[in-house]
Amino acid sequence: MPLMNLRDCRALERRLLCGWYYIFSSRKWKRSKVSARRSQECAGILNFASGCHNVSDADICSICANSLRNQRIICVVENIRDVIAIENTQQFSGTYHILGGVISPLDGIGPDQLQIESLISRLAKEQTEELVFALSPNIQGDTTIYYIQKKMQNLQCRVTTIARGIAFGGELEYADELTLGRSLQNRMPVDRYISH
């Protein structure tokens, strides 16, 4: 087998890190007893991009740094698992913004604990044309969309959401590639989805 070049090594490293992150942030793992310590250890070896908060060994992640991707479209997701799920569909060519969760008062998660401020500043700085919400179709996801939308009222930016009428089985990561891909293609203005 030929030796891998540096680029291949980095790609492999990233895939491994994403794999570990995927496992450590899964629901099953979180419920397990050793999860807290292991998750901390995992977070310690992972670096995150400062703009989009994706896993990255550089300050700008490989997706944001890719000039072939549409930098004017940002897809808002809860975590890196959602990035992997959407990337697997090959139906999205913009960039991502990872919130780190959704607003959930019952779980003690408020807007300040999420990467919402950095999203709003990105929208102004990057002259974003479209913001696509790909959040779980539940009350927490809806609350988060509503909150972010209110915060960006002075910005000229199209706001859409992936089609949410289709049964995802609860969360994005559980959606099959075809369904998720289709829902990305059929995204709709968020106003039509959430009535204020």
Helix axis angle for 177-185 and 80-89, nearest 10°, is 80
- Minimum CB distance to Zn ion, residue 191 (Å): 27
Of 52 and 184, the one with the shorter C-beta distance to Zn ion is 52
Does 55 contact Zn ion by CB under 5 A?
Answer: no
Q: Are 162 and 137 in contact (CB under 8 A)?
A: no
Across the beta sheet with 95-98, the strand order is 95-98, 73-77, 130-133, 158-161, 188-189
- Minimum CB distance to Zn ion, residue 66 (Å): 9
DSSP for 103-145 reads -BGGGTB-GGGTTHHHHHHHHHHTT-SEEEE---SSHHHHHHH
Does 99 contact Zn ion by CB under 5 A?
Answer: no
- Minimum CB distance to Zn ion, residue 64 (Å): 3
- Minimum CB distance to Zn ion, residue 53 (Å): 8
Of 63 and 76, the one with the shorter C-beta distance to Zn ion is 63
Among 17, 52, 80, 148, binds Zn ion (CB under 5 A): 52
